[in-house]
Amino acid sequence: MSDYKFFEQVNKAFDKAAAYTTFDKGLLEQMKQCNDVLHITFPLERDNGSIEVIHGWRVEHSHHKLPTKGGIRYSMTVNEDETMALASLMTYKCAVVDVPFGGAKGGIRIDKSKYSEGELERITRRYTFQLYKKNFIGPGSDVPAPDYGTGAQEMGWVLDTFRQISSDINAEACVTGKPIGQGGIRGRTEATGRGVFFGVQEACINEEDMKDLGLEPGIEGKTFVVQGLGNVGYHAAKYLEEAGAVMVGVAEMDGSIYSEDGIDLAKLMEYKKETGGITGFEGSKTLKNNSAVLEAECDILVPAALENQLKESNAPNIKAKIIAEAANGPTTSEAHEIIKKNGALIIPDNYLNAGGVTVSYFEWLKNIQHVRFGRLERRFEEDSFRKILSVIETVSERKFTSKELELLAHGGSEVDLVESGLKDTMVNSYNEINELRKKHSVDLRTAAFISAINKVGKLYEQMGIFP
């Protein structure tokens, strides 16, 4: 059993940043705590008739904004500590990118590959039912989304189950990352990876930083390694490749591969589909295990699998100049210090993978308003259309950018809206945390935490304490 304590790791980073703020000690302590922690167990009847007990969690970290929001993970790593850490990261992430949600996370401790589709459906539906019974799901209370091991199919089952047991008129908004036909939004599947790309691109524009790292500004020609070719890793790699970066290394469950000449992503995905793995891919060298490639020569390392991957033991050997934290918690606090001391730039998870929740927010807005983005002008006159937009802005406490307004008003497609909203969010938030980094002479992770603590703390102060 590993002694890795994920929630403690997040809180260490919080404490470091809190020293740059002036909030009351008690309030800072309140901000760190998880407001509600739910551990559920329920029986699953397996296809062979045997009965198995399933363990699941849902944690609502912060109720300073409602609903709370965060993915559902299916993995053998799931436990209370992991879910609490991930829920807390959601609070800080939402604050950094100005998405008006509190943080939450859920998880079920299963190895998805060991269950049939029917069994997975029964697990998902029963889990949703248990969440509903305990008031841990609902459009205005707690809204799940996909995470490691889950995707649109599971979110579709969540919605359908919720609909059977709730008469909420906004039922569609009880979960995001759904199939499009069920009220999902175009661009959600690729949103986290796309956001990772926008964040890395923004970092690479900074000439001074690139000079310090000994790199040319821009993405083109930079080499990268990605760990985990799942939803986030695949899409991050795809957009990096499209922008002219060269993928030289990949890690997956079965091992890792490297090629100085570059690895073609589309061909590798085909190969993975055929063989179930990546090792042995033509033109690449298979390394000794799946963590070896993390230490390979490259400009950008994109950990996009799970937490606790860059640690004290391998951090001194990391050669990448930029660590793009697509996954949550891939770098331990000890490794962070080593990598920073060695001069690399870490773009932190609590900012970089916020693209998913940003687009989930657009999906939720669309669902609670019962509208189809980009088609409004066909249903409303210009005046009433503008009024609706301003109501959405008031309810969500977020201003649409001029580009978003333009696209909405003149029938830009949903894809355009998502794309531009996501890009604006990732670019603006990067610049905001980068300013804090310079102001306090800290690293980007600490700067992102300072930004989050300041925003959440201010809201707490405005709210006061009940009763």
Ligand X SMILES: NC(=O)c1ccc[n+]([C@@H]2O[C@H](COP(=O)([O-])OP(=O)(O)OC[C@H]3O[C@@H](n4cnc5c(N)ncnc54)[C@H](O)[C@@H]3O)[C@@H](O)[C@H]2O)c1
Catalytic residues: 105
Residue 305 touching ligand X (CB under 6 A): yes
Q: Which C-beta is closer to ligand X: that of 18 or that of 232? A: 232
Nearer to ligand X, 210 or 225 (CB): 225
Helix (H, G, I), strand (E, B) or coil at 328: coil
Considering only residues 250 to 279 of the shown chain, the ones binding ligand X according to CB under 6 A are: 251-253
DSSP string, 314-344: TGGG---SEEE--SSS-B-HHHHHHHHHTTP
HSE value, Cβ hemisphere, 13 Å, CA-based, for 227: 29
**Between 223 and 353, whose beta carbon lies closer to ligand X?**
353
Q: Say if CB 257 and CB 250 are below 8 A apart.
A: yes
Q: Name which position in 92, 148, 362, 400 contacts ligand X (CB under 6 A).
A: 148
Which parts of 211-230 interact with ligand X (CB under 6 A)? 227-230
Compare residues 64 and 69 and give the one whose CB is closer to ligand X.
69
Taking the least distance from each CB to ligand X, the nearer of 32 and 272 is 272
Q: What are phi and psi of 193, to 5 degrees?
A: -65, -35
Cis peptide before 146 (omega within 30 of 0): no
Dist CA 105 CA 147 (whole Å): 9
Per CB under 6 A, the list member of 66, 269, 306, 388 interacting with ligand X is 306
Tell me, residue by residue from 178 to 197, as one string, x for binding to ligand X by CB under 6 A and - for no binding: --------------x-----
Candidates 126-134, 136-144, 163-171, 323-331; binding stretch for ligand X (CB under 6 A): 323-331
Q: What's the closest the beta carbon of residue 119 comes to ligand X, in angstroms?
A: 18
Report how far residue 225's alpha carbon sits from residue 228's, in angstroms, rounded to the nearest whole number: 10
Task: Provide the greatest CA pair distance for the chain.
Answer: 66
Minimum separation from the CB atom of position 357 to ligand X (A) = 7
Q: How far is the CB of 57 from ligand X (least distance, A)?
A: 14
Nearest residue (CB) to ligand X, 5 versus 403:
5
Cα distance between residue 421 and residue 90, in whole Å: 19
Residues 58-117 that bind ligand X (CB under 6 A): 71
Tokens linked to 226: 């990605």
> What's the rounded Cα separation, in Å, for the pair 202 and 199?
5
Smallest separation (angstroms) from ligand X to the CB of 101: 13
Minimal CA–CA distance to 357: which of 108, 96, 85? 96
Point out which span in 52-60, 117-125, 204-212, 300-308 binds ligand X (CB under 6 A). 300-308
| Cα 421–Cα 306–Cα 241 angle in degrees, nearest 5 | 50
Residues 324-353 that bind ligand X (CB under 6 A): 326-328, 353
Please report the sign of the dihedral spanned by the C-alpha atoms of residue 372, residue 374, residue 380, residue 383.
positive
The residue among 305 and 408 lying less far from ligand X, judged by its C-beta, is 305
Pick from 147, 241, 295, 299 the residue near ligand X by CB under 6 A. 147
- Least CB distance from residue 2 to ligand X, whole Å? 13
Candidates 120-128, 145-153, 391-399, 404-412; binding stretch for ligand X (CB under 6 A) = 145-153
Angle ∠(194,367,369) on CA atoms, nearest 5: 120
Cis peptide before 67 (omega within 30 of 0): yes
* Helix segments in 114-224, DSSP class H: 117-133, 152-165, 188-205, 207-213
Which alpha helices (DSSP H) does 441-466 contain, by range?
A: 444-463
**Binding residues among 401-460 for ligand X as defined by CB under 6 A:** none
CB of 328 to ligand X, least distance (A): 4
Interface with ligand X by CB under 6 A: which range of 34-42, 140-148, 178-186, 428-436? 140-148
The sheet with strand 322-324 has its strands ordered as: 285-286, 255-258, 246-252, 223-227, 300-303, 322-324, 345-347
Question: What gap in Å lies between CA 186 and CA 427, rounded to an integer?
Answer: 21
CB of 30 to ligand X, least distance (A): 25
Instruction: Report in angstroms the alpha-carbon separations of 87 from 111, 127, 293, 350.
Output: 21, 18, 29, 11
User: Could you tell me the smallest distance in angstroms from the CB atom of residue 148 to ligand X?
Assistant: 4
Which residue has its beta carbon closest to ligand X? 230
Per the CB < 8 A criterion, the answer to whether 316 and 338 are in contact is yes
Between 166 and 314, whose beta carbon lies closer to ligand X?
A: 314
Residues that bind ligand X (CB under 6 A): 71, 146-149, 192, 227-233, 251-253, 290, 304-306, 326-328, 353, 356
